[in-house]
Structure formats: C-alpha cells, structure tokens
Amino acid sequence: MFGVTILGNNSAIPTLDRYPTAQIVTCNDQLLLIDCGEGTQLQIAKYRIKRGKLRYIFISHLHGDHYFGLIGLLNTLNLMGRVDPLSIYAPPELEQIIQIQMECSGTALRYEINFVPLMPGYTGVILEDKDLSVSCFPTQHRISCFGFSVELRKKKRKLIPDQAKAYEVPAAYYGKLQEGADYLRKDGLLVKNDWVTIPPEKGKRYVYCADTIYDVNLLPYLQDADVIYHETTYLHELEGRAAERFHSTSVQAASLAAAAHAKRLLIGHFSSMYTELDPFLEQTRPIFPNTDIAEEGVTFLV
Ligand SMILES: [Zn+2]
C-alpha cells in the first residue's frame, strides 16, 4: 500500500473546519509524517492513524503552520510510552527549538530522536529504507524550504512463468528467482535469472512541493510523478499577492502538473479567507483534469 492521507490542508491560521498542513504517507508498513501543523495529533487520533508506526517526520520549513504541532505530538508519543527511535528531517534550527521546549518543561524523552538537519538549498536522497527512498529539493519561499519526493520501489523481478517451466525450475524456487537468483539444475545447467524473469516494474512516486512561489525550476523533480501535491494558497485572481508572499495560485499549480506530465494533482494550503473550495477545482481542472482537493481525512493512493 502506498498512499497519502491528508490531515490538514489550510494555510497560516487554523479554521474550525480546516487544519494547517500535515500529511501521513503510508509506504507498506512504514508511516511518514510530512509537516506537522497545529493540531496534527488530534487529526492523527480522529483518522485512526497508528502513531506507533510513525518512523520518520519531515518538516518542510519553519513557518508555524508547518510545525507548531510537533512538540505536542512528540510529548504525546512520550506519554504513550514510545521507546522506538524517531527520525526528524528539518531545517537545522528546529533541533534547538525542540531542545529548549523539552528543557524548559523538564521533559526527558524516553525515545531517541535522530535529527537530520536539511541545510539551505540541499538537494538529494535523504533516506533509504527497505523499498522506500526519500529525496528533498529546495523550493522558493520566504525562508529556507524543501519539497520531498517519496518513492516506493518495486524490488521483486517479474517471473515469466512459461520460461521458468520450460527450464524446469521448480515452483518452490520462484520466490528466489524474483529476488534475482540463478538456478542450478541437477543436470548441471545454470539457468540464468534473466532467462526466466524481467526487471521489476518502475516504482511509484509522490512529490510534495511544500510552500513555493510559481517556479518552473521544480519541473525536473515533478516529471512523470504519480501524484503531486502543490500548494494553491490563492485563486488566480490574486496572482500578484501570491507572488508577493511566495505562494502559488490554482492555475499555476495546474500548469506545472501538466508540464510535468504528472498523473494526478492534489491541491491544498488554502488561505483561510476561502470558505468554498470548489472554485479551486473550477480553475485547475480545465488545465489539469485529474486534480483533487487534498481533503482532510481522505487517503489518496499513489
Ligand atoms: Zn510558509
């Protein structure tokens, strides 16, 4: 299972029906949290996310609507008896922020935090774990900010059953073939793996663009992605305001998704001034039809 569950889709100020940015990415048995706006732990409880399975947290930047929920969540995990280590990937200043809040409240966490600082402008792979790979890339915002690309690789090679039978490989050995092994027959013939299997299918990719001004330099990271999340803080009428504040509009997000030949676009980080979100779809879908509102509580499969 590879999917993204939206916990918050609002920007800046939480509203009564929309929380600030937070998303859970499920990669088989591993849970990743991307951004952690205020109230994230309540959304985790509401949508029955298994907190104990959370292994990695990624914070795109240090505007409050992307991390003010973190201390509360870390504290709750401690109170609930967590002992498994937790990795946090974030701008370096966050380490001090966490430390000072823990110190001032006299809290000693029972679990270890493995803090990985993301230095301004860094681009590249930051995590490899089993079939999961995460890389980050800088976005253009008012302060240092990162997008994240999460890839779930298919590890197993694909068996060609007719070939495997023709070479008399026993069915019990098919699992090993899918892992890349050759097979030595009793008559001494070495059945080479690539005679009976083909390479694994391409992995799937989810790209989270964080907060950003409209920026065509993001295209290489978005190219052919299965699902893209791009912020649309404003409708296109407020293009000028979006640029001033280093945010994007509906039309800009849809144009990038189309140019990148992405398969699907999720939009969010809506300004609190909007009570109705349908106009966002009315502006994006003519440019990129497979667009959806990143609706809270909904899991989108990648
Ligand atoms: Zn921001």
C-beta of residue 69 within 8 angstroms of C-beta of residue 41? yes
Distance from Cα 225 to the centre of ligand 1, integer Å: 23
Torsion 255-259-263-269 (CA) sign: negative
pLDDT band at residue 124 under the 50/70/90 scheme: very high
Ligand 1 centroid–CA 76 distance in Å is: 25
- Residue % of the chain over a pLDDT of 70: 100
Kindly tell me the burial class for residue 269, based on how many C-beta atoms sit within 10 Å of its own C-beta (0-12, 13-18, 19 or more).
buried
The SS3 of residue 114 is strand
| Across 7-16, 100-109, 228-237, 241-250, least confident range | 7-16
CB atoms under 10 Å from CB of 137, counted, come to 20
Q: What is the pLDDT of residues 183-216, one digit of tens each?
A: 999 999 999 999 999 988 888 999 999 999 999 9
| Cα 104 to middle of ligand 1, angstroms | 27
Beta bridge partners of 27: 2, 30
Residues annotated as catalytic (active site), given as ranges: 65
Domains by residue range for the chain, with CATH: 2-154+203-301 (3.60.15.10), 158-198 (no CATH)
Which pLDDT score, from 0 to 100, does residue 242 have?
A: 95
Say whether pLDDT at 13 is over 90. no
Query: Is 236 part of any known ligand binding site?
Result: no
Is-contact 190 182, C-beta < 8 A? yes
With helix as H, strand as E and coil as C, how does 139-165 read?
ECCCCCEEEEEEEECCCCCEECHHHHH
> pLDDT at residue 156 above 90?
no
17 carries a ligand binding annotation: no
Pairwise pLDDT comparison (212 vs 29), residue with the higher score: 212
Q: Does residue 14 register a pLDDT over 80?
A: no
Residue 297 identity: G
How confident is the model at residue 155, as a pLDDT? 77
For residue 4, what are its two tokens? 């993204």
> To the nearest whole number, what is the mean pLDDT of the chain?
95
Is 261 annotated to bind a ligand? Reply is no
182 known member of a binding site:
no
Give distance in angstroms: CA of 61 to centre of ligand 1.
7
247 annotated as a binding-site residue: no
pLDDT of residue 199: 87
Distance 203 CA to ligand 1 centre (A): 30
Q: What is the pLDDT, as a whole number, of residue 182?
A: 96
Helix or strand (DSSP H, E) at 9 = none
pLDDT for 58: 98
CA angle 198, 199, 205 (to 5 degrees): 140
> What average pLDDT does range 13-35 have in this prediction?
92
What residues form DSSP beta bridges with 184? 190
Percent of the chain with pLDDT over 90: 92
Question: What pLDDT sits at residue 198?
Answer: 92
pLDDT at 32: 97
Give the residue-averaged pLDDT of 223-240. Answer: 96
d(CA 232, CA 16): 20
| Average pLDDT of span 153-161 | 88
129 alpha carbon to ligand 1 midpoint, in Å? 29
**3-state DSSP call for residue 245?**
coil
Flag whether pLDDT at 150 surpasses 80.
yes
With cut-offs at 50, 70 and 90, classify the pLDDT of residue 111. Answer: very high
230: annotated binding-site residue?
no
Please give the distance, rounded to the nearest whole angstrom, from the Cα atom of residue 34 to the centre of ligand 1: 14
Sorted by sequence, the CB contacts under 8 Å of residue 116 that are 6+ apart come out as: 87, 88, 89, 90, 126
Determine the average pLDDT of the residues in 42-67: 96
110 burial via Cβ count (<10 Å: 0-12, 13-18, 19+): exposed
